[in-house]
Amino acid sequence: MSAQSTLTERSAAPSVVSVEPVSEKPFSKKFFDKENAEARGAYLKVLIAGTFAIIIVVFTVFSIFWGSLWKTPVRNLEGWVVDFDGGLVGQTVTRALSSSHAGKVTWTPVSADRFRDGLNELATDVREQRTWVAIASA
């Protein structure tokens, strides 16, 4: 019971709340005030470092992008149309692409006899950059 009585005695005591004085007006300090020197230094350090980091990233990324656009091909790229089976679909595709002059690829019909190994040899020719693209009808 004595523990309960000391608890009530403590809660009965008046509590003291300390109140700090309020500054003159909100936002009354200026950027170049002496009290703000440390915060201003940290802010400017982060601002300048961030700005230079963004500049470096922009020049790094855009220099790669601009370099890729430096010399674009002014001629049409070469494409092969190979009809391995000689069927109706292969002839139609070969005829349609050979007669089309629009676009960035100049399609050239190539005889299937040139590729003894079939599609594997055609794929090898594309990988070895003998042509830019190939369409095969098999």
- Residue 46 CA to residue 40 CA, distance in Å, equals 10
Q: Say whether both 85 and 106 belong to one domain.
A: yes
Looking at the fold, whether 66 and 32 belong to one and the same domain comes out as: yes
| pLDDT higher than 90, residue 73 | no
136: β partners: 82
Is 7 domain-assigned?
Answer: no
User: Which residues span the domain enclosing 121?
Assistant: 77-137
Residues 110 and 127 in one domain: yes
| CA distances for 124 relative to 44, 77, 119, 132, 135, angstroms | 58, 18, 9, 12, 13
The conformation of residue 56, written as its DSSP 8-state character, comes to H
Distance of CA 51 to the CA centre of its chain: 20
Identity of the highest mean pLDDT range in 17-21, 24-28, 43-47, 82-86: 43-47
CB proximity list for 79: less than 8 A, separation 6 or greater: 97, 105, 106, 107, 108, 131, 132, 133, 134, 135
Answer whether residue 118 shows pLDDT above 70: yes
- What pLDDT is attached to residue 40? 92
